[in-house]
Structure 1
């Protein structure tokens, strides 16, 4: 495998790169954890085709204002919320499924 990076080595290189960027920009592990938790607590409510997101906090972002000014209803960009965790383990026929035996083709 000369000249190819195996998965473990690629992972190690990525971790080193991330640590260097964090140090370069003064990002601490705690700041990263806080940011991740904030994102989990405030999931995006709106998303456009380019991946821009807005969680409804603060002013409307430029991309959403531009779409509104062009006559597009903001509801067009609303993100569908995932089902509640409890109902995620119930199939359409009412039977329960074991989440440990998830089949990628198994429909709820």
Structure 2
């Protein structure tokens, strides 16, 4: 799963010239309108990155599990139905 930071970076890097500059201006304007500082955005994006690193198992519906504690209900049901737990392992 890509984090929001990677998604934004990928979009900006893919764009060229004027389109790229317009997107950057738009993002800055929206951040100002919502009183979002660069530091707050960086903190939120880092939290997303940290969260993504902790996720070890995910199903097709977006349910996740870190691998700590008991298996969540969605994973118990899938394993009981014959699915291998390794099928849900994130790479």
Q: What TM bracket, shorter-length normalisation?
A: 0.3 to 0.5
Higher helix share: 2
Bigger Rg, which one:
1
Which structure's relative contact order is higher, taking Cα pairs within 8 Å and 6+ residues apart? Answer: 2
Please give the TM-score of this superposition, normalised by the length of structure 2: 0.47
Please give the TM-score of this superposition, normalised by the length of structure 1: 0.41
